A and B are shown apart, each in its own frame.
Chain A
Amino acid sequence: MITLSSYLAISFALFVCGIAVMIARKNIIAILLGIELILNSAALNFAAYTRFVNHNLDGHIMSLFIIVIAAAEAAVGLAIVIRFFQIRESIHIDDATQLLQ
């Protein structure tokens, strides 16, 4: 029997994995991968709730926007990464310490 909880569980797994990636990895692109995971988990939640709780399509719209934003974020984020790489010749997250100064 597929219920809301099953979707939530999957989304939970995605989220935790995303968190883990974000913390464990030192590579900026890998961290971006983690962010994608987290975003997907959120989008999945929306869709699941739409299906099981309230039956209008607002959740879908929300998911759609999340996808849009994720795409935008990926584009800008990767651009920054590339720029960063051009400057520092590295994509190690601990090199990005400009905030410290």
Chain B
Amino acid sequence: MNGHSNLLNWILWMPMIGVLVVLLLPRNKEGVIRYTALINSIITFALSIVLYMKFDPTTPGMQEYFKVLHPWISQFNINYSLGVDGISLPMIVLTSLLCVLCVLCSWTISKSVKAYFALFLFLQSTVFGVFMSLDFFLFYVYWEVMLIPMFFLIGIWGGENREYAAVKFFLYTFFGSVLMLVGMVALYFVSADNPSIGQNTFDILALSGGKFTDLSLRIFGVDISFAKFFFVMMFIGFAIKVPVFPFHTWLPHAHVQAPTAISVILAGVLLKMGTYGFLRIAFPIFPQASVYFADAIAWLGLINVVYGALCAMAQTDVKKLIAYSSVSHMGFVMLGLAAMTVQGMNGAVLQMFNHGTSTAMMFLLVGILYERSHHRWIVRPDGTKGYGGLYTQLPKYSIVFIIAMFASMGLPGLSGFISEALIFLGIYQKYTTITVIALLGLLIGAAYLLWMFKRMFFGEVLDDCKSYTDMNAREIFYMSPLIIAVIVFGIYPSPILDVMKVSVGNLVSLLAKFN
């Protein structure tokens, strides 16, 4: 394919156009604002589908056809450079899809609608920015700017403890990105001395490929490998976002307090930014260090899986339970990354996508239920049941819930299975013990979901639940794309695997050189 396309620019700035339009609309025209946001996100989604269609799955690395490169701050060799490859494409499509659904599920927001949708579209744009940037500086800017709308969206439209959650989320991620900043700046200064780069640069592609293996640092009189030191820094930065075990505690707070749509974006997209950071930055730039720390990453991933699952089992708040299940599922992604085999990596990227759809379903469903019941207790703090007999009361809702739940626990035929099977196949080749324990995590994963389902859905209908109405047309409408995605990609995953396998394979072969 010759020529050049500005499609990435369009996708990136389309939500920003939406922000402008929303801001120009009068505050009391709420309907118009909602429809503007919806139409805008649908256009963005359509553009991302066009991107998917035009994408050439045989090219490893960044696609020349879509590359966008303009000097931004030329004094420091910072460029506005965007690109797409097989790893970022599924994420872009996922983001644009989820944003459409989130706009629909935010229909019932009534508190300053204008500001909400403006911030939401702004958030969407920044997330695209993270997934598209090829310049580390640009990446960092988007990574940071993303926090601002998120902070307000949680802090203003959240639950009863929202300020705490928002501040916690902000500080946590900010801490991580500061570490990342250190790494970024260090790379910038070191890059000029590297013969194969030759100038100070933030260009991710130029930096990647394991060019900093021989450097060392002297800190407090101890020689430390440059790559290892800054890999750890970046690891923490990304790990907070994933979140990997010791840094996971922002997640339950943020997920529980955030409004439904924001929980969906948080779990569906933002967590993937962490693992995307590994795939795009940490692994390609420091392949040797990645291989060196693979064991540690695998163990951390394992802890995530088991710890998240065990904690989830004890939760009595549905949303918190699902938040912990996200911790557990992202652990699988970490395991796949740590495997550094073709199956594991592909499985990890696929799991990123699949977790995005299945967990989005779960959060949307909890949001639907919350709109009816205004609480989220499976078991209230005083020991009585919060829900009961929902199966009888809400039949359609229950069917969708079953699909989401089984997709989340990896039932074959639904999307979670293939990615998890690939991850396990990848990790088993390297770490047998870890695999066996992680599979136990899978078992617990089924346990807490089924137990929750049993407590909420079976049995006689509680008196409180008798007033709940079943899903309305709008809710069914925005659930249906996810249902279709979960089933179709469970049966036929090739549409996603085909676009990413070459890019992922490229990364795996890079890592294999240092193995």
Q: Do chains A and B touch in the complex (CB under 8 A)?
A: no
Q: Write the residues of chain B forming the contact surface with A, with a CB cutoff of 8 angstroms.
A: none
Q: Which residues of A contact B (CB under 8 A)?
A: none
